[in-house]
Structure 1
Amino acid sequence: MSQSPAQPPVAKRVPTSREHHGDVFVDNYEWLREKDSAEVVAHLKAENAYQEAVTAHQEPLREAMFQEIKGRTQETDLSVPNRKDAWWYYSRSVEGKEYSIQCRVRAVDSGDPVADWTPPVVEAGVAIPGEEILLDGNVEAEGKPFFSVGSAAVTIDGNLYAYAVDNTGEERFTVRFKDLRTGELLPDVIEDVFYGLAFTPDGTRIFYTVVDDSWRPYQVKSHVLGTPVSEDEVLYQEDDVAMWLGFEQSADRRHLVVGIGCSEFSETRLLRFDDYDAGLSTVISRDEHLLYEAEPFLLDGSETLLITHNKNAVNSMVSLVDPSELAKPLGEQHWRTVVEHSDAVRVNGAGVTSTHLLLSVREDTIERVQVLPLAGLGTPEQGAAVEPAFDEELYTAGVSGSDYEAPVVRMGYTSYFTPSRVYDFVLPTAEQPAGELLLRKESPVLGGYSAADYVATREWAVAADGTRVPLSVLRHASVPQDSTAAGLVYGYGSYEVSMDPGFGVPRLSLLDRGIVMVIAHIRGGGELGRQWYEDGKKLSKMNTFTDFVAATDWLAQSGWVAPGRIAAMGGSAGGLLMGAIANLAPEKYAAVVAQVPFVDALNTILDPELPLSALEWEEWGNPITDPEVYRYMKAYTPYENVRAVDYPRIAAVTSFNDTRVLYVEPAKWVQKLRSLTTGSEPIVMKIEMDGGHGGASGRYVQWRERAWDYAFVADALGAVLLLPGAGLK
């Protein structure tokens, strides 16, 4: 007996009018925003049931991909120990367990600096003498629908451990304190905390952030251990709804550094721990409209500020400022240049150790690290920058941790087909002017993986306005260039975020099935400097979408793929990208996967009471006050531009508790797509009812989610069979 095909859930239509700048938009599905409504929950469950029915035939492929991911991953593993004060800290993962276990072991000081900062040999699955468990995520997560640690901190004396746990996926954390001498929890418990924790040097006080009603971090508070939380002090409150707030300790841990800002300008305030009652002091007022970061430190014994800024420098530069200069008007202050502005090099940030300046820069799309000695910094005697050398064309290198007094800095390195590596870079000295890279670990990849089986190249698409758009093209080495393969284009293109080269085990399951993957470094990202970002935001946002279509056209004409076998994928703001290109060029794609997609962007940003909406004005413009921004956004917002065309196969993947892109956006979008498409391809929504913006918690669950996305793509492209010799070996 044959079964009738599954029917998609049809949401009722409840017309709601929205009027701005003389324009009236009627929204039939806004009622789906009522998260607490039993009818809404029932509808979402019906969406899940529909997608399960429609994609049921993909289950064997999903299971195969999951087993490939699992088979390539060393499940019992550990991180490289990282020294902080008198301890080495590291994490373990255990086969069969979802979450990591945080551990430490005491350090030994021999008087040999490099030896003392050489991590101990820790074996996977083998406890070492003196090992202490700080937090076992598997124990903490037991019986909970979701588990994530947002922040953690240890006092300098190593006695107290603070950690923040989220059990809903809403990124609202509960902070607890553990006495590491006894293993007992302190009675202090702080609820509804956002990211960021830091102790004062004496360990008696901890700083944390909280959010306002629109889920924007707006307060830095301090809690004195042993006192009621109700008495916690508000150290700083930011009332501008368009400004973000956060903090960190200075590298030498003498200051709390509070950062306030948006994507276009910022403000830094400093608190001296040895003069707490003096309160916060402002480095440069936001009224100057500079985008900057400030790091206080001692240079030759004198208080100095290291400032990374865009003052007459679109790609930013680095300067030194004596704090006494800050009392003068900005135009009269004397700043000493450390790193000059360059049109070709974007300065992403700068930090210090007790002996060196650390620089993160981006050149030719690639993020890299440079170091300069503090001796002579900002003078004619300043030394030359030293950059650790790597032998690949497309890679990512960055400082992943450094201790102020250490003779080494911990670095992370990866490329598309080089698994993540951990290096210690021995800082240059007179005896060793080039420094030295010491490989501490390369993440193992099992299943017979060989980087030689894959190829990554840099190619360039040409946008309609003549702009050259960089592409990273990834493929299995055995794919013939005969215009028959399948292709996938991935992109993001917002917030100056760069899609940097990085290794990913799950991606191999696509490449092993002959899919050629293009990562499109489109405008709105940061790959080619600040102007690349500026050219893809606000009233230039359309460049992001048309660049992605140009990348698709390059792939279709590359000789690798059949033009009818191309899919697209992106998440969050990249999900908005997916909705936009599905409207712009639906005929170019066989399938679109939109992960936690920001597809109802205009409606969201028009309501400053919705989570994080006001913070978006610096990225997209403010459609509430500016009619031109309203008209421009309305011309590309995916939900409002769905039309009667043949849409490709579409999957919207979301989470019920996502606070960054609410589930209602894809829920409404899917309904409108189904109501207007003239094609026959299925349009489904997969919703994780216990997850947040990053999906469900637990590594096995996350692997299954990635396998779901990739199986949807491979099935749509007819690329379900492994290439000869590919796969696990």
Structure 2
Amino acid sequence: MSPADASADRTRPLPPVASPQPRVRSHHGDDIEDRYEWFRAKEDGAVIAHLEAENAYTQERTAHLDELRGRIFDEIKGRTLETDLSVPVRRGHWWYYGRTVEGSQYGIHCRAPLASDDDWTPPVLSPDTEVPGEQILLDGNVEADGHEFFSLGSFEISNDGTRMLYGVDSAGDERYLIRVRDLTTGEQLPDEIPDTFAGAGFSPDGRFIVYTTVDDAWRPDTVWLHELGTPVSDDVRLFHEPDERFWVGAGFTRSDRYLVIGLGSSITSEEWILDADDLRGEPRVVWPRREGIEYEAEHAVVDGEDVLFILHNDGALDFELVRVPASDPSGERTTVVPHRPGQRLLGMSTFRDLAVVAYRRGGLARLGLLDYATGDVDELSFDEPLYAVGGGGNPEWAPPVLRLGYGSFVTPATVYDLDLATRELMLRKRQPVLGGYDPERYEQARVWARAQDGTQIPISLVWKRSFGEAGIAPRPLHLYGYGSYEHSIEPAFSVARLSELDRGVVFAVAHVRGGGEMGRQWYEDGKLLNKRNTFTDFVDCALHLVDHGYTTPDRMVAEGGSAGGLLMGAVANLAPELFAGILADVPFVDALTTILDPSLPLTVIEWDEWGDPLHDADVYAYMKSYSPYENVRADVAYPRILAVTSLNDTRVLYVEPAKWVARLREVGADALLKCEMVAGHGGVSGRYNAWRERAFELAWLLDVLGVADA
């Protein structure tokens, strides 16, 4: 250690010291002493005091970054048009849109009447121009008044436009209180439904609300029917799923013909339909569940017959699309889009005259228009080598235009309307980026890394051209990863990311196995007893970027959140020498402890993703071999680590990163913990709060990369 390093160590504030309180956990003949499991007692004053001490220590250790955090926040704010309006979406006799106002944390939900029933061209709205007939439906800033946290889990207008329901979470624990407002009078109706899950909706006739509730493990398990004007105690239970592996949800088809009750685990699904005009009737199953078979159904009318289009993986790894009679879903199947290995069908949306099919091919999202008469799929094409595209804001059953969302690493979020008759894409709005943003100053590309078993792993890159081509000379690099639940990381634009790129940082995404970028097999090869591929793929991507001159280990920071935080913890143990820093957001780093306890939120559901270590000794041994908390090493020098969590997170409990950081400190790691005391899995609420949170993380990241003063 140099004299300068020794002096720095003497002046560095001391971290909080948590008194170990060993508890022994025994499974499959294996005894594990856990020194910090006592952190789980959320109501214990000593635990809260420890978390607050961690926050104070983190603030003290990063106090030198206060000015940089302020600059980054100002950069995000300065690039954002704070007073703005979204592109209106037509539903019924109204255009619905949102407003943001400078200085306000939350959005404002609005609507304005159509000029005529033939009006399908959304009005061009300006913050400086009054919108004729505008109604303020819900002002999030008013609703959030007096609460440190505010989030909407449900928001819907009845088909006739006279009533609004909305579900509010004011703690971050994702339990929502549903309220109802009469939009003709502005009065709140007496109907209030507490402790609901997200996603409630009106019946087509507006008489009922369909909503779901959760069990003690935070699993949505029951669908309810509430008749407006009646006591909640009289609500009818439409469906209950006792199997703890399955989530339940419900929603009406776009045609308003059926209520669809869907339930699914990670590997199995089942759907039930109920006539929308007989909601007190008996649901009927579409296809009885079969272990390992997933499907989803959409209603359409073809040649005058009610049919269901069903996307499924029965004998089709990457899924196929079939059509069946709605009156007899288990009857004869007509193949519409056959299974094509490597083209992963993701979903479909049916309309009166056609359907939109979403799929992935070559690592990119695709959209195609399905002609009911011919079965042909007309794929939409876009010019950029990397992009993300999807349908959005299409509530109408028979629209002449289709609303699309589009973007890339360099193209800000863009709204198009596709004319279904001419196939013309009409630009409705592109996210304004203030301060002279020019996409031509930035470049995006995809390269491929070779994994240990020879598999080619895609890496997406974006950088600012003025710093030179990526890969010509080593540059500071920010490598992001996730790799679970078949979730794909799309090449999406980020205003906050510009604060990195403009300082010369290359941003990269390692599309590791366990995600969905390259099809269903890509997911299968990164879950259960193949989970280690996720971690080694990320390491191999980092090695590729070093070996090919993009960066050096002392100039690379890795980031991941939630299940991607598990990736970060595993990588820290596997290859600490490859990174200067690791940023772990709400990280799932005590995975084995959590998945062993079926009383914890979501554990049983997660067994399909990770395996069941409680009953299977092989799974137990495998998870123990990679779970970050179990495998903290005393024989290595860890990179700098920042873990960010939230006290009220119900998905990854705060206790996991708190324990992990304490254990890392035992072996001398420079690890920081930041715990939001009033927030959930998604972090703080409110856009300015979210910007400040991201500015905090980016300032730390840039400091680690050595470009904090750039």
Smaller-chain TM-score bracket: over 0.9
Task: Determine the C-alpha separation between the residues in 1 that align with 2:405 and 2:266.
Answer: 26
Within the candidate set 586, 589, 600, 1:596 is matched to 586
Q: Which of the numbers 407, 429, 438 marks the counterpart of 1:414?
A: 407
- Give the aligned residue type for 1:234: R
Aligned partner of 1:726 in structure 2 is none
Give the number of equivalent residue pairs: 699
Whole-Å separation in 1 of the counterparts to 2:280 and 2:677: 46
Residue aligned with 2:708, SS: coil
Secondary structure of the 2:19 match is coil
1:509 to 2:516 alignment: no
2:403 maps to 1:400: no
Select the residue among 310, 320, 344 that pairs with 2:342: 344
Tell me, in whole angstroms, the C-alpha distance in 1 between the residues paired with 2:440 and 2:80: 18
In 2 relative to 1, CA 166–510 (structure 1 residues): closer, same or farther, beyond 3 Å?
same
Counterpart position of 1:666? 657
> Do the aligned residues in 1 keep the contact of 2:266 with 2:608 (CA within 8 Å)?
yes
Question: Equivalent residue for 2:191?
Answer: 188
Q: Is 1:550 matched with 2:540? A: yes
Match of residue 13 from structure 1: 20
Q: Distance in 1 between matches of 2:291 and 2:520?
A: 19
Residue 452 of structure 1 is matched in structure 2 by: 440
Change (3 A) 1:125 1:97: farther
Equivalent pair of 1:297/1:306 in contact (CA under 8 Å): yes
Deviations 1:692-716 (A, max 9, x none): 1111101011001111111111101
Residue 705 in 1 paired to residue 693 in 2? yes
Post-superposition shift, 1:173?
0.7
Distance 1:259 1:6 in 2: 53
2:266/2:606 contact within 8 Å kept = no
- Alignment partner, residue 613 of structure 1: 603
2:572, 2:638 within 8 Å by CA — same for their partners in 1?
Answer: yes
Question: What is the RMSD computed on CA atoms of the aligned residues?
Answer: 1.4
Does the aligned pair in 1 maintain the 2:93–2:117 contact within 8 Å? Answer: no
One-letter amino acid of the structure 2 residue matched with residue 469 of structure 1? I
Looking at structure 2, the residues matched to 259 and 558 of structure 1 have their Cα atoms a distance apart, in angstroms, of 47
Deviation at 1:289, TM superposition (A): 4.0
TM-score scaled by length of structure 2: 0.97
Q: SS of 2:496's equivalent?
A: helix
Match for 2:304: what amino acid? G
What do the CA deviations read for 1:313-344 (whole angstroms, capped 9, x no partner)?
100010001235446xxxxx421011011112
Gaps of 5+ in 1: 328-332, 377-381, 723-729
Q: Alpha-carbon deviations, 1:449-491, whole Å to 9, x = none?
A: 1111111100001111111000001111122455342111100
- Offset at 1:202? 1.4
Equivalents in 2 of 1:584, 1:216: separation in Å?
A: 33
SS at match of 1:401: coil
TM-score scaled to structure 1, two decimals?
Answer: 0.94
Q: CA deviation at 1:161?
A: 0.3
Stretch of structure 1 that moved more, 40-49 or 548-557: 548-557
Match of 2:32 in 1: 25
In the alignment, is residue 562 of structure 1 matched against residue 552 of structure 2?
A: yes
- Alpha-carbon separation, structure 1, partners of 2:240 and 2:578: 49
Secondary structure of 1:369's match?
strand
Q: Does 1:236 align with 2:232?
A: no
Which deviations, in whole Å up to 9, do the C-alpha atoms of 1:249-307 show, x marking residues without a partner? Answer: 11101111111011211000111012333321100111364200011232222121110
Q: CA shift at 1:214, angstroms?
A: 0.5
Partner deviation per Cα, 1:188-226 (whole Å, 9 max, x = no partner): 111111111121121111001111000110011111111
The answer to whether the Cα contact below 8 Å between 1:600 and 1:669 also exists between their aligned partners in 2 is: yes
1:641 is aligned to 2:631: yes
Deviation, 1:565, is 1.1
Which amino acid letter does the alignment assign opposite residue 486 of structure 1? P
Map of 2:364 onto structure 1: 366
Q: What is the one-letter code of the residue matched to 1:515?
A: V
Corresponding residue for 2:351?
Answer: 353
Answering whether residue 307 of structure 2 is matched by residue 316 of structure 1, we say no
Question: Helix, strand or coil for the counterpart of 1:311?
Answer: coil
In 2, Cα distance between the equivalents of 1:104 and 1:305?
A: 33
Contact kept in structure 2, 1:318 and 1:350, CA below 8 Å: no
8 Å contact kept, 2:269–2:289 = yes
Rounded to whole Å, the distance in 2 between the matches of 1:274 and 1:45 is 54
How big is each residue's C-alpha offset from its partner over 1:49-108, in whole Å with a ceiling of 9 and x where there is no partner?
Answer: 000011111111111111111111100011100011111100000011100000001113
CA distance in 2, matches of 1:635, 1:560: 31
**CA separation in 2, counterparts of 1:205 and 1:636?**
48
Cα deviation code 1:128-178 (max 9, x no counterpart): 110000000111111111011111111111000000111101111111101
Query: Does residue 214 of structure 2 align to residue 211 of structure 1?
Result: yes
Equivalent in 566, 574, 577 of residue 576 of structure 1: 566
C-alpha contact 1:518 1:555 (8 A) present in aligned 2: no
**Alpha-carbon separation, structure 2, partners of 1:176 and 1:120:** 30
Instruction: Say which SS state the counterpart of residue 478 (structure 1) adopts.
Output: helix
State the alpha-carbon separation in 2 of the partners of residues 658 and 562 from structure 1: 35
The whole-number CA distance in structure 1 between the counterparts of 2:38 and 2:291 is 43
Corresponding residue number in structure 2 for 1:126: 129
Partners of 1:488 and 1:517 within 8 A in 2: yes
Aligned twin of 2:180:
177
Question: Matched residues in 2 for 1:615 and 1:52: separation?
Answer: 37
Q: Contact between 2:295 and 2:313, CA under 8 Å: does it hold in 1?
A: yes
User: Equivalents in 1 of 2:639, 2:654: separation in Å?
Assistant: 22
Distance in 1 between residues matched to 2:329 and 2:97, nearest whole Å: 41
Aligned to 2:116: 109
The DSSP-based 3-state class of the residue aligned with 1:665 is: helix
In the other structure, the counterpart of 2:294 is 291
Which of 450, 455, 471 is the matching residue for 1:467?
455
1:155 alignment partner, one of 153, 158, 164: 158
Question: Aligned-pair distance for 1:4?
Answer: 4.1
CA distance in 2, matches of 1:694, 1:324: 42
Superposition deviation, residue 561 in structure 1: 1.9
Q: Which moved more, 1:268-277 or 1:501-510?
A: 268-277
Deviation at 1:110, TM superposition (A): 5.0
Matched residue of 2:377: which SS? coil
CA–CA separation in structure 1 for the residues paired with 2:181 and 2:240? 28
Instruction: Indicate yes or no: 2:25 matched with 1:35.
Output: no
- Residues 603-625 of structure 1 show CA distances to partners (whole Å, capped at 9, x for unaligned) of 00111110111110110011111
Select which of 612, 625, 628 maps to 2:618: 628
Query: Aligned partners of 2:583 and 2:245: how far apart in 1?
Result: 30
Instruction: Give the unaligned 5+ runs of structure 2.
Output: 1-7
Q: Distance in 2 between matches of 1:714 and 1:273?
A: 54
C-alpha separation in 2, matches of 1:217 and 1:607:
18
Compute the displacement of 1:557 (Å): 1.7
User: Which SS does the other structure have where 2:622 is aligned?
Assistant: helix
Partner-residue secondary structure (3-state), 2:355: strand
The AA in structure 1 aligned to 2:688 is: Y
Partners of 1:192 and 1:336 in 2: CA distance: 42
State whether residues 94 and 125 of structure 1, in contact with CA within 8 Å, keep that contact through their aligned partners in structure 2: no
Q: Is the 8 A contact 1:592 1:650 kept in 2?
A: yes
SS across alignment from 2:554: strand
State whether residues 87 and 107 of structure 1, in contact with CA within 8 Å, keep that contact through their aligned partners in structure 2: yes
| Corresponding position of 2:377 | 385
* Matched position secondary structure for 2:508: strand
The 3 A distance-change label for structure 1 pair 289 and 519 is: closer
Do the aligned residues in 2 keep the contact of 1:557 with 1:563 (CA within 8 Å)? no
Identity of aligned residues (%): 51
1:161 match: secondary structure? strand
